[in-house]
Structure 1
């Protein structure tokens, strides 16, 4: 328990990377009501004391595709995407303003701003090859999307394809942030452990040795997560 947060590294290796405190990646999903300004502020204050560098990353790719796959027409999808991105960016901005100066170097990134980085392209290409040739990687990705969609979407369903495209775009950060951003090690801080991370954390062909994951979430008033 730290600063009113439960901090739970996924593995012993993750705990060692967390203790190094070199870099934290805080992923923020657009349209996810969990990420209130207050929660983001609390998380940023904690990270600012624990890490030398912090990146707040929000996903702004494939959202319109997800909306269309869910039944929205092109105009509705564009409107919903614009609204959700405006909201998430406002919450991040206000959280950064509330935190003010923190010991760690702090910046906010959109996923679209990183896809041109050499590290991102290298990792993305490698993971795409693994998806095509490694049955375990493909199975983990498909199981992840199926679980998030509630198990009701088939592999050839539009929602499933959209979910898979969304996952492929963020997967380099889930499995190899150090290589993407050129940092020695990184802890992905999220309020839950993602299924694809559980499945692939020991897959040497995908998972960077300096990549860690930690569940970080506020405690309730009775001191429970």
Structure 2
């Protein structure tokens, strides 16, 4: 199995997961790179993104899995970048060794933006919120009869740093990636719920790194 490390930025942030998969499938064709296809009556290019990114998020650490058949791996980034839309950039193509189950944490940078500047005391209020022993929020769940389930965010937050920067507050978060994972939007929702005076006008999300259980880069 081969992996493509790629970034997603600018208007490409708004490409949905399914559209992104189709974009890569078409781009492999345009680039003349043959990859493994599924078998059956309607074969299609086998591509997989282990950790789908929410629409509107930028990222510098996305991973796509595929099986390149007859192209030297070092040629793949340049050829793919010539075929991909603006905002998606393949950085390298390599042989995948570590299983996806070892992808344990994700590092997000969440920027809270305030039109009138960060409110007085917002930084300390948010820091206190994330230091609680328990922080319960509701999230959508297809399995629950009510469509929602309660989740305690604290066990899913490995590290959290809060820093005020002029008119914004930056959250540097390391969150559980899967089984279960934590979407950083739930943390922003918790701020709006429990610290309404610190609620941002906007929130910008960036995925910076995917990590293993020892907080080392997962590849």
> Normalization by structure 2: what TM-score?
0.25
Higher helix share: 1
Bigger share in strand: 2
Q: Give the structure-1-normalised TM-score.
A: 0.25
Is the radius of gyration larger for structure 1 or structure 2? 2
Q: Could you say which structure has the greater relative contact order, defined with CA pairs below 8 angstroms and 6 or more residues apart?
A: 1
